[in-house]
Structure 1
Amino acid sequence: MNGLSTAFIYVIQTLGSLYLLIILLRFILQLVRADFYNPLSQFVVRATQPLLKPLRRLIPGLAGLDIASLVLAIGVQLLLMIVTLLLMGIDVGGHLAQLLVWSLIGVTSLFLKVFFFALIVSVILSWVAPGSYNPAAQLVNQLCEPLLAPIRRLLPNLGGLDISPIFAFIALNLLDMLVIGNLVVMTGMPKALSPFI
């Protein structure tokens, strides 16, 4: 593999992963019932609408979940993996089922990472800009609240000190190590696809 194809793979993975993140954010924002009129939510909706609108005609929502955006995320992940492997000169013929499983693992891993990094941003914002009305800060708090609220109910009152993010970080890291890590090993996911997990 020469330098030009390596650079091309990098560009494809970077741009594709960014769009994949936006698609998955569309699913997550609806899942956590985030403010639809937030400017960042509107950006996510507009960026995903061209592909999601026709897909929604085929795949309806289920129990308040945006199944079409989840299917689109898995499809984009699958396409990115196929393109990456083809550019590396690896034959993907006959391995579609395995690639689909790896795509599911990749999307699940990204799902956990969204919450992990949203928690980091939320903790930093609570130190530097508590109670901020910035649209990004509000969206981050709306993302984290469904994860932190059950933990807060279990913890005793510590006089204004909120340590629930620590337990959320531990839970997310354990899920990543024990579930995602073991699935990667069990399915034999190649190192070439490691940027996707």
Structure 2
Amino acid sequence: MPYLLNALSMLVQVAFGAIATLFLVRLAAEATRADFHNPLSQFIYRYTNPVLAPVRRVLRNWRRINLAALLVVWLALLIERLLIFVLSGFMPLIPGLLVLSLADLLDFILLFYIIVIFGWSLLTMLSVDPYQPLVRLAGHIVEPVLRPLRGRLVVGSIDFSPTVVVIVLLLARILIAAPLSDLGAHLAITS
């Protein structure tokens, strides 16, 4: 029976992870003003707009941050965490669940940027067509994160700024997201 629960937990994580990723890409694309004429951007906007349009009437953007998309990502991760608890036969306490889902959100954003920076760096090293939609969108998303170090960590013809940013993001996962997750787990199981 635990194998079935593990399989169901994995399916829940995949489904809600895909939903969270779609809305996080929308959030990042809007924040960085990615090219809307990019077919990938149009796909993302088309499939996220039916959910975000009603929420945006109530929850407006803050600067260039789409708070409605951020709320949807957080809710997806909250529901995912709740379903995993329920599948394991445990009902968490609400404060712990809220802190855990906040930690999940932070960790998800950090992991998202690690993956996008790594993928973008790999694609640029392989001399992929710079006008390819995925490369353009990833380039727009990573540019604000890499800009402060761009050109400062060049050795020969290799720019090490993506490596340094990935290391900083990994440290943030270890030093910020993990302790917050531990706190949330403690609050979820203690009364």
Normalising by the residue count of structure 1, what TM-score does the alignment of the two structures yield? 0.86
Structure 2, unaligned runs of 5 or more:
none
- Distance in 1, matches of 2:18 and 2:52, equals 16
Runs of 4 or more above 6 Å deviation: none
Question: Where do residues 30-179 of structure 1 align in structure 2 (5 Å cutoff)?
Answer: 30-92=30-92, 95-129=93-127, 132-152=130-150, 155=152, 158=155, 160-179=157-176
Structure 1, unaligned runs of 5 or more:
191-197
- Distance in 2, matches of 1:156 and 1:170, equals 14
Residues matched between the structures, number: 187
- Distance in 1, matches of 2:140 and 2:28, equals 10
- Distance in 2, matches of 1:44 and 1:156, equals 33
- Distance in 2, matches of 1:78 and 1:178, equals 21
| Fraction of identical pairs, as percent | 28
- Distance in 1, matches of 2:185 and 2:122, equals 37
Question: 2:153, 2:161 within 8 Å by CA — same for their partners in 1?
Answer: no
Question: 1:74, 1:107 within 8 Å by CA — same for their partners in 2?
Answer: yes
Q: CA deviation at 1:187?
A: 3.0
- Distance in 1, matches of 2:81 and 2:40, equals 28
Q: Give the AA of the match of 1:161.
A: I
- Distance in 2, matches of 1:156 and 1:17, equals 33
Q: Does 1:15 align with 2:38?
A: no
Q: CA deviation at 1:33?
A: 1.7
Q: CA deviation at 1:156?
A: 6.0
Q: Give the AA of the match of 2:47.
A: A
Listed one character per residue, the Cα deviations across residues 25-75 of structure 1 (whole Å, up to 9, x for unaligned) are: 111111122112211111211221221111111211122221111111111
Listed one character per residue, the Cα deviations across residues 101-153 of structure 1 (whole Å, up to 9, x for unaligned) are: 11111111111111111111122112211562111111111111111111126
- Distance in 2, matches of 1:3 and 1:160, equals 50
- Distance in 2, matches of 1:156 and 1:96, equals 45
Q: CA deviation at 1:159?
A: 5.1
Q: Give the AA of the match of 1:134.
A: Q
